[in-house]
Chain A
Amino acid sequence: MQQLLNTSLVGLTLGFVYAAFALALVLVWRSTRVVNFAQAPMAMVTTFVALVVIEGGASWWLGLAAALASGLVLGAVLERAVVRPVQGGSQINAVILTLGLFIVLHALAAVVFGNRYRSFPAPFGIRGLEVGDRTVALTPTGVFTIVAVLVVMALLVALFRFTDLGLRMRAAAFNREVARLLGVRVGRMLTLGWALASLVGSLAGVLIASGSLVHPGFMDSVVVFGFVAAVLGGLDSPVGSVVGGLVLGLSLSFVSGYVGSQLVPLAALLILVLVLLVRPGGLFSTTTARQV
């Protein structure tokens, strides 16, 4: 019983992080029809930026702010400089491009920040909360993770639902030509979409790193989990990506707790293949069978 509860709690916390990461992938996919495989190294780089700020004597919160700001800038710069030219071209080129960025950012981080494990501080305690006389596997940092992801999601929903800017971004993503004719600066909206996605990815990166170790490769498996979560939700739906992230976090936590942590990526692969074979549109597809 104890283990069941703890496994679920760990899975829930992880699930929220995967959800944030999946959300970043979905934001990019919706605005530019590119799956940004470089999202993980981008978040890794901004997490290192945060670490440098924190090790320079600033507080954890300033580090988070630095990560988010650098994420915003990195996303915008990459979209404008590198991704824009392959827009509308063949899918394969876009995929190869983001993978090239993956390699570049990875190597660059290893050259600049060093290729070793460094510990990243946590904003709150990393000891389990005590409920009654038992310690459960939910840490104050874990609670903060969940709250932070929920707040960011609420802000994004507010942006897309209630603001003029959000409406323009949705228009640009929905139909580029029509949006342009109606006076929307589509290019800017796409850049902004990438910047926002990169910001959400950076948040996920800092949250994963908090109270743990960072290394140029520490986000590599997260891109797989984030992708699987996004596909679970249909790759097109922000709500779906959140639910997909939670489902994936819980399932992987159970695999890790009851089978073995080494098989977690394999479980993610099996889930992905099953979803794609059974419901190619994801669990939350609103459109009829889209071609995968």
Chain B
Amino acid sequence: MKHVTAAFCQYTLALLAVLALNFLLIHMMPGDPLVHILGEEGYYQMTRQPPAYIEKIRETYQLNDSLLKQFLSHILRALQGDLGWSHHHGRAVIKIILPRMGWTLLLLIPSVLISTMAGGTLGALAGRSPRGRLDRVLTPLFLLIYSVPGYCLGLFVLILAFHVDALPMGGMPSGITDMALYMMMPMGVLILHSTAYKYMIMKNAVLQEIHEAYVMTARSKGLDDRGILFGHVVKNALPPFITVVAMHFGFMMGGSLVVEMVFSWQGMGTLIYDAVISRDYPLISGGFVIICASVILANALADVIHGCLDPRIRSGNRFNE
């Protein structure tokens, strides 16, 4: 129970920290905070209005109140889903972000699941027999893939696709049917890259576990190698592996933003890029908050799974490391 409370506190704090950072960026940067609240375009439109109107806008955004009060209302509004108004798009930020976030998650969640399964299984198999055939082939390959930046991998794939000319070079699917076709390349890159990472993590976890004494106990009961690997070793290696997968989710999120750009996938990456180019500050910070919230959520979820898988944590015997 202690573990759950502590973890919950930590995630709440992290979310608060993100919101605080957001607030600080808006209010502590030199210049008029209204630029950051309205975005450059909105601010420009506003400056052409009469001073009374400007004052009214200041009033609506409570800019004349104390900072603490502003901060509290900022958090309250954010928690209610009000992340501001994008003048560039002429819509509420949250309404712009959510569908784009959907596209990103469409790309991301299958990648996370597939890479976790593939990386985990391959890593476990390779860890079972170090210096075996699987290990010798996969380890250098995955080390290579992991070391190359994700978007460079994407560019390689793109260049390849350009010369082969079999798959769409990027862009968005128009219907369900060609969805797979368009998703294949960006997702492939994401999967490949994170499979490499998870493979290495799992392999090392299994390598460590395989020397534990309980493995010998299991062998002395006449279990075969496969039974020991999946019945005993993986069960122990899985909880920390899940935690790593969750932590890597944030990294993948960042990576997918760049990969989206490579394949012009209309997700969060391109949205934030456009927002940065047009200096649409509400959209930038809103996107940031949503991304962070989703990463924090993923980590919290992983913590719950971790707790279910590891009885030592469930009963509160082992807190953190």
A and B are partners in one complex rather than unrelated chains:
no
